[in-house]
Amino acid sequence: MKQKEIELLKLLEKNGRIDNDTISKMLDLEVAQVEEMIERLEKEHVIIGYSTLVDWSNVYDDEGVAALIDVKVTPVRGLGFDKIASRIYRFPEVKAVYLMSGSYDLSVSVEGKTMMEVSRFVSEKLSTLDTVLSTTTHFILKKYKHDGIIFDDGDDKDKRIMVSP
């Protein structure tokens, strides 16, 4: 891959809304070249989508619950972990699935409206799959940083109330 394509990908990864005119100036290319590169990278599935990172804790009526689930599985002969990962990522609750090294085989990111909804997903859907041996669920209490974006407001002051005897 050419250096300009890598630079383009880094720009888009950081800000998917950056316009082609700005990109062309930053990369010292013509706008038509930028458009052609983006179109080709999309066709080749190097760029597979564009998304918006939302801090749901600022949307008080729709905060929801997120969890990371460590999953130990028995791989399928000839298919390894791919078949079970495919079955898991098809559930609508699942936001991401990763093959991991270490004690567990897969890491599954799940979102739901309540803790009970997530726990029902684990007990009724995930744990009941034939190749799943065990799960460990970690509920996310607070996001500090995600995809390189810091969620904290940067105010380092101690917000606890002073209590004196």
Residues 17, 81: one domain?
no
- With bands split at pLDDT 50, 70 and 90, how would you rate the model's confidence at 132? very high
* Structural domain boundaries enclosing 11: 3-43
Q: What is the pLDDT of residues 143-160, one digit of tens each?
A: 888 887 887 766 666 666
Residue 110 sits in a domain whose CATH number is 3.30.70.920
Q: How many residues does the chain have?
A: 165
pLDDT value at residue 53: 78
pTM of the prediction? 0.74
Report whether pLDDT(62) > 70: no
Rg from Cα positions in the chain: 21
Residue 23 CB-density burial (10 A; 0-12 exposed, 13-18 middle, 19+ buried) = buried
Rounded CA gap, 34 and 5, in Å?
9
Residue 8 CB-density burial (10 A; 0-12 exposed, 13-18 middle, 19+ buried) = buried
Q: How many Å from the N-terminal Cα to the C-terminal Cα in the chain?
A: 66
Q: What is the pLDDT of residues 1-40, one digit of tens each?
A: 699 999 999 999 888 899 999 999 999 999 999 999 999 9
Residues 65, 132: one domain?
yes
Number of domains in the chain: 2
pLDDT value at residue 158: 63
152 inside domain: no
Residue 118 CB-density burial (10 A; 0-12 exposed, 13-18 middle, 19+ buried) = buried
pLDDT value at residue 157: 64
165 inside domain: no
